[in-house]
Chains A and B, each alone.
Chain A
Amino acid sequence: MTPQTIELPARTPLLSRAGWSTFIVAVLVVCALAPALNLWVPADSAFHLSDYAVGLVGKIMCYAICALAIDLIWGYTGILSLGHGVFFALGGYVMGMYLMRQIGTDGNYKSDLPDFMVFLDWKELPWHWTFSDSFVATLFLVVAVPGLVAFVFGYFAFRSRIKGVYFSIITQAMTFAAMLLFFRNETGFGGNNGFTDFKRILNIPIATQEMRMTLFVLTGVTLLGFFLMARWLVNSKFGRVLQAVRDAETRVMFSGYNPLGYKLTIWTLSAMMCGVAGALYVPQIGIINPSEMSPANSIEMAIWAAVGGRASLVGPIVGAFIVNGAKSWLTVAYPEYWLYFLGALFIGVTLFLPQGIVGWVKKLKGAKP
């Protein structure tokens, strides 16, 4: 038998030439144009970027990171998670704990302890608050806590080959259980009020225009960084195996691969991305409470990815912007119609746009001669 050579498709570049130029423009917009328009253009000018817009876009960019994370696990690996809200909230809570400690003695009760602990008549910080006064430890925990939770959960779930809708429902149960847990005062996370009323970050006042802009830029850079990382990941051999798992997991196993490691890695990574998004989200919004873990929130994340287009990396970002942009407009203009719209979006996208908006645009382009 003569040895056969297999023609592997040539490794595609990370981004095409046009892709790179778009990417650089995006970096410039986030890092230079937006701050300039917000901070230095006078408020009455037509080109001024309002603080409201900065807050909104900053928030949506956090959501876009989540959508990207969902896309990696759902679009590329075929695992639909309905529990990513937990990881988002965990990252947010870790950051929130740090911000609560930063309040110091400026709270209503002038105590070293956060207000809600004084209210519950606690005398000292519970054990899980040990590292909350250190910013470095917080940065580490923002990634580590969601990562660890996801790793343990994923290990048990994937090891016993729970997949498809089973997995989705179990993740939903997980986020539901976590929400119930965090609603309890005894858990030590402020019960249903959560954390709010932050004053400082790194001893710098948090509610200033400059700080808002800094967080905005940081979020934008993180989003773009994650985008590049995801791009690199799905183009690598690792990414190919993921897509093979999505399309025919049994065949992957018969070819000698153990999908457990692949699924677990991408699952944990995706959870970490959500954790980072949560940590960026909390100082911008100024509140974190257990309702972030409600099953509805996690499902909404999936719809961002679906609207934009699964299995493309630009798609989820576009989807997050479109859905949340529509949400922030509709909930103000026609609050009673927002849920109709969202519901119709769920149905319409699954029925008519299985590839999402990006896939639809691609098809339109392809149809042209």
Chain B
Amino acid sequence: MLSQWIRLTAFALCLVSGSVQALTTEDANAMAIGDTDARVEALVKAMATADDKTAVFLQALADDAVKLVGTRAFMVKGDKGVDPVSGLEFALPDEAEDIINNNRMRGELDSALAALKLFSKDAGIRLAATRQLQSDADESKLPLIEKALATEQDAQIKDLLAMVRASALLNSTDITQRLEATRLLATSTQASTKTALLARLDQETDPGVKLALQKALREVEAALAWGDRLGAMFSGISLGSILLLVALGLAITYGLMGVINMAHGELMMIGAYATYVVQGLFQQYLPSAFDWYLLAALPVAFMASALMGVVMERTVIRFLYGRPLETLLATWGISLMLMQGVRTLFGAQNVGVENPSWMSGGVQVLGNLSLPYNRLVIICFALAVLGAVAFLISKTRLGLFVRGVTQNRPIAACMGVNTARIDTYAFALGSGIAGLAGCALSQVGNVGPDLGQGYIVDSFMVVVLGGVGQLAGTVYAALGLGILNKFLEGWAGAVLAKIAVLVFIIIFIQKRPQGIFAMKGRSAEA
């Protein structure tokens, strides 16, 4: 409450108080007492001559911190009453009554406060206030908006304000004003403009304005459609990059080694929890470097999952090579134990992993399209991991050995490759990449014991669709599935989209049982 007061006074002081009249006791009383219609009318009247006292009083009204003593309205501060005009404090009598604001009144108060915030010194507050006004601008706020427009320096806010002014003018009684407003709004890329135009079109009587409105509507819709399409594309790529991260590890363990690892999702979960632990350590011991905890978390997540992978490989999986169905069941058992283990250690609830400050926020590309930084970072990260894996497999000695063992184990052994050790390394690598995926996932989703479960079916689909033993196939399948999923989602809803994608994969495999990129070989068992 107190901090709110301070904040409030701070921005109230910044108000340009150029008006002759200020808040009067009559105004304050009229805004607080009576039926909603009368109060809203009084509010509109007070807004025309608003000063810093008006702002403080309105904020108090919105915070339910105004009480009635008899027929006078007083602000409440702690256990004291404050006169809204003179600012004098006095002891609040016991019989003070609460004022009840209904939803309409609250809405009016909020937008009035937003209009007042247009004069804040902080550009961020001004921008937010302008955005809020966009949806509920009307003529009553026009004087304030015009005043703000005259003093505004920031180009972005100025453009937005012009739009808000146009939306307010849209309901003007003057036809030329309406036409002017319509023309201006046609260049907008905001979803709220469309709603405003539609609402006006319903009431418009003048045929000329009507025509202009329809034209403007078409232009806005076209602009919006582009934003929607690009937005779906971006979220598709974003989902695709996550699928890619998840599937890259699988592409190594399953695609190259032929091990069905049902615990892959749980290895991701370990990576995500490793990130959580690193975050906790930074909070505790290095709060000044908290923004960079993610960089430290990456190797930790990789090592934690890789280590788990080595343990799994040495104790269970190595006895089951060549028996894929048994591997599947055994790794499922491991996944159950890992999940329960995390529950025992960290509790069954989700834990909170925060974005570092440089990853929150986003780039505003179009009016209805903004690209969050954390998604952008993950896309870049997925590409980097992909590059590293491709390099490792195709250019390094370890990669050569892995490929050799995959293609022909006995011959590789004859050449002096320690195949058992290569198995362990390759499995650790795949598991470590799962850990990296988990670290990335912790930045966009919930971190809980069930984290891996949601991705296991999807990621196997990616590997199956992409074709076994192929990194390129995995990339195409991940991005393709991600984009397909998001486009279907916009069209049919999330659940139906997911089902449609699964059905699509099942049908696709009919046509190409070996995935998009088939390994060429002579085996009759293929």
Residues of chain A touching chain B, judged by Cβ–Cβ distance below 8 Å, are 74, 80, 82, 153, 156-157, 159-162, 164-166, 168-170, 172-174, 176-177, 180-181, 183-184, 250, 295, 299, 302-303, 306, 336, 339-340, 342-347, 349-351, 354
| Whole-angstrom CA separation of A86 from B376 in the bound complex | 38
- On chain A, the residues within 8 Å of B326 by CB distance are 350, 354
Are the C-beta atoms of A347 and B330 separated by less than 8 Å?
yes
B460 at the interface (CB under 8 A from A): yes
Pick the residue among B320, B328, B344 that contacts A80 (CB under 8 A).
B328
Residue of B nearest to A156 (CB): B510
Interface contact A172-B333, CB-CB below 8 Å: no
A342 touching B336 by the CB < 8 A rule?
Answer: yes
Whether B403 is near chain A, meaning CB under 8 Å from some CB there, is no
A-B contact list, 15 entries, CB within 8 Å: A160-B513, A161-B513, A165-B328, A169-B464, A173-B457, A181-B499, A336-B344, A339-B340, A340-B340, A346-B330, A346-B332, A347-B316, A351-B319, A351-B330, A354-B326
Contacting pair A346 B498 (CB below 8 A)? no
Q: Which of B328, B337, B495, B499 has the most CB of A within 10 A?
A: B328
Contacting pair A160 B329 (CB below 8 A): no
Question: With A and B bound together, what is the CA distance between A324 and B496 in angstroms?
Answer: 34
B332 pairs with A299, CB closer than 8 A: yes
Q: 9 smallest A-B Cβ distances: which pairs?
A: A346-B333, A343-B337, A343-B336, A339-B340, A343-B333, A177-B502, A350-B330, A350-B326, A347-B333
B79 lies within 8 A of chain A by Cβ:
no
CB <8 Å contact, B333 and A170: no
Q: Which residue of the partner chain, among B339, B341, B460, B503, contacts A169 with CB atoms under 8 Å? A: B460
Mark B residues whose CB is within 8 Å of A.
260, 316, 319-320, 323-330, 332-337, 339-341, 343-344, 457, 460-461, 464, 495-496, 498-499, 502-503, 505-507, 509-511, 513, 524-525
Query: B residues within 8 A CB of A184?
Result: 495-496
* Cα–Cα distance between A184 and B492 once the two chains are bound (Å): 13
CA distance A347 to B341 in the complex (A): 16
Q: A166-B464, A177-B503 are in contact. Are A345 and B495 (CB under 8 A)?
A: no
Shortest B451–chain A CB gap in Å is 15
Contacts of B344 in A (CB 8 A): 336
Contact of B329 among A156, A181, A183, A350 (CB under 8 A): A350
Minimum Cβ distance to chain A for residue B289 (Å): 37
**List of A residues within 8 angstroms of B336 by Cβ:** 339-340, 342-343, 346
A339 touching B337 by the CB < 8 A rule? yes
- A164-B325, A165-B260 given; name 6 further pairs at CB < 8 Å: A156-B507, A173-B457, A174-B502, A181-B495, A339-B336, A346-B333
Q: Which residues of chain B are near A160, meaning CB under 8 Å?
A: 509-511, 513
**Number of interchain pairs (Cβ within 8 Å):** 114
Q: Which residues of A contact B327 (CB under 8 A)?
A: 350
Question: In the complex, which residues of chain A have a beta carbon less than 8 angstroms from the beta carbon of B335?
Answer: 343
Report the minimal beta-carbon distance from A74 to chain B, rounded to whole angstroms: 8
Complex CA distance for A339 and B333, rounded to whole angstroms: 9
A250 with B524: CB separation less than 8 A? yes
List chain A residues, Cβ under 8 A from B496.
184
Which of A74, A181, A250, A351 is the one whose CB lies under 8 Å from B316? A351
Q: Looking across the interface, which residue of chain A has its beta carbon closest to that of B501?
A: A177
Per the bound structure, the CA–CA distance linking A340 and B339 in Å amounts to 9
Q: Which residues of A have CB within 8 Å of B334?
A: 343, 346-347
Contact A180 B499 (CB under 8 A): yes
When chains A and B are docked, how far (Å) is the Cα of A159 from the Cα of B510?
8
Whether B457 lies near A172 (C-beta < 8 A) is yes
User: Known contacts A156-B510, A169-B464; is A176 also within 8 Å of B495 by CB?
Assistant: no
User: Within 8 Å CB of A162, what residues of B?
Assistant: 509, 513
> Are B328 and A173 in contact (CB-based, < 8 A)?
no
Given known pairs A169-B464, A173-B457, A250-B524, the reply for A80 and B509 (CB within 8 Å) is no
Q: How far, in whole Å, are A339 and B343 apart by their CA atoms in the complex?
A: 11
Cβ A180 vs Cβ B498 within 8 A = yes
Q: Evaluate whether A302 and B329 lie within 8 angstroms (CB atoms) in the complex, with A173-B506, A343-B334 already known.
A: yes
* Most B-side CB within 10 Å, residue of A159, A346, A354: A346
Q: Which residues of B contact A303 (CB under 8 A)?
A: 329
Please pick, from A177, A344, A354, the residue contacting B333 in the complex, using a CB distance under 8 A: A344
Q: Given the complex, which residues of A lie within 8 Å of B329, measured CB to CB?
A: 299, 302-303, 306, 346, 349-350
Q: Which residue of A lies closest to B254 (CB)?
A: A165
In the bound assembly, the distance between CA atoms of A295 and B450 in angstroms comes to: 13
Contacts of A174 in B (CB 8 A): 502, 506
A165, A344, A349: the one within 8 Å of B325 (CB): A165
Q: With both chains docked as a complex, state the minimum distance between the C-beta of B263 and any C-beta of chain A, in angstroms.
A: 10
**Once the chains bind, are B320 and A351 in contact (CB under 8 Å)?**
yes
Closest chain A CB from B251 CB (angstroms): 14
A166 cross-chain contacts in B, Cβ below 8 A: 464, 509, 513
Bound: A153/B524 CA distance, A: 24
Compute how far the CA of A184 lies from the CA of B316 in the bound complex, rounded to whole angstroms. Answer: 39
* A170 B495 Cβ-Cβ under 8 A: no
Given the complex of chains A and B, what is the CA–CA distance between A295 and B344 in angstroms? Answer: 23
Contact among B337, B457, B511 with A176 in the assembled complex (CB-CB below 8 Å): B457
Q: How far is the CB of B524 from chain A (nearest CB, A)?
A: 5
B299 to chain A, nearest CB (A): 28
* A342 engages B333 (CB within 8 Å): yes
A177 touches B498 (CB 8 A): yes
A170 close to B509 (CB less than 8 A): yes
Q: Of all chain A residues, which has the CB nearest B339?
A: A339
For B340, the chain A residues whose CB sits under 8 A away are 336, 339-340, 343
Q: Is the Cβ of B324 less than 8 Å from the Cβ of A164?
A: yes
A330–B203 Cα distance when bound, in Å, is 69
User: Which residue on chain B has the smallest CB distance to residue A171?
Assistant: B506
Q: Does the CB pair B502–A173 fall under 8 Å?
A: yes
Q: Which of A82, A177, A306 has the most CB of B within 10 A?
A: A177
Q: Considering the complex, give the chain B residue whose CB is closest to the CB of A79.
A: B325
Residues of A within 8 A of B316 (CB): 347, 351
A298 CB to nearest B CB, Å: 11
- Chain A residues positioned under 8 Å from B339 (CB to CB): 339
Q: Judging by beta carbons under 8 Å apart, are B509 and A183 in contact?
A: no
- B371 to chain A minimum Cβ distance, whole angstroms, is 28
Closest to B258 in A: A165
Contact B457 A168 (CB under 8 A): no
Chain B positions within 8 Å of A157 at CB level: 506
**A residues near B464, Cβ cutoff 8 Å:** 166, 169-170
B473 to chain A, nearest CB (A): 14
Query: Given A172-B457, A342-B336, A343-B340: A250 and B495 within 8 A (CB)?
Result: no
In the complex, what residues of B have CB within 8 A of residue A153's CB?
Answer: 506
Which residue from chain A places its CB closest to the CB of B513 in the assembled complex? Answer: A160
Which of B325, B509, B511, B525 contacts A168 (CB under 8 A)?
A: B325
Residues of chain A within 8 A of B323, CB atoms compared: 350
